[in-house]
Copies of this chain bind each other. A is one copy, B any other.
């Protein structure tokens, strides 16, 4: 049985972070691969030594699997991918392509999109990272032009991370080109995403009720 750790609560609001917290990536992967999991909570407001011991940057998610604890959502996705070919095909070339695009989403795209968001996203008209982000979107558009999935000609864990970083970018106000928009729409129409999304929102909404009672 896997345990996905997330915060016990986060602030609400129109544009998230509810529905965008990174535990969603792990829920989604488990749903796709039909892996048994439970979700447990750690305090958002009081991040003590026990939290930092399991996640040295004081963030979430982290994953427990028997005696193994692993943090970094990207690492957790690759860890889960070892458990199921639904998430990463076993053919060597396909596995390499899945790994490559998982890391590309983390280190070639999110490396720009997250700091861009941090600097104000589209609300900051002279955001110094906007041009770079647009350029990367242009490259990704070229890649997606003739493929349904980002890697290995099938749904993989790379689609989970790529679609997630793209929809976060859109939520921060960057319009997506039609080909990318179609891709995100297609990947996020999967029942596993919808369940993961609904479950995360329900988790934080229930925490609101507990706090106000």
Contact surface of A with B, Cβ cutoff 8 Å: 52, 56-59, 67-68, 70-72, 74-75, 78-79, 92-93, 96-97, 99-100, 102-104, 106-108, 110-112, 114-115, 118-119, 128-129, 132, 136, 139-140, 142-143
Contact = CB atoms under 8 A, between A and B. Distances in A.
Given A104-B75, A115-B115, A136-B57, A93 B68 contact: yes
A179 to B, nearest CB: 14
Counting from the closest, the 7 A-B pairs by CB-CB distance are A75-B103, A115-B115, A72-B103, A75-B100, A106-B107, A74-B103, A111-B111
Contacts of A107: 72, 74, 106-107, 110-111
Contacts of A57: 104, 108, 136, 139
A96 B79 contact: yes
Contacts of A103: 72, 74-75, 78, 106
A100 B142 CA distance: 30
A102 B128 contact: no
B56 A68 contact: no
Contact of A108 (B72, B92, B93, B119): B72
A-side interface mostly: helix
Contacts of A58: 139
A75 B105 CA distance: 11
A97 B72 CA distance: 10
Contacts of A136: 57
Q: Which of A100, A111, A128 has the most CB of B within 10 A?
A: A100
A151 to B, nearest CB: 11
A166 to B, nearest CB: 15
A132 to B, nearest CB: 7
13 contacts: A52-B139, A56-B140, A56-B143, A70-B97, A71-B104, A74-B107, A75-B99, A75-B100, A75-B102, A75-B104, A110-B111, A112-B115, A115-B115
A114 B75 CA distance: 20
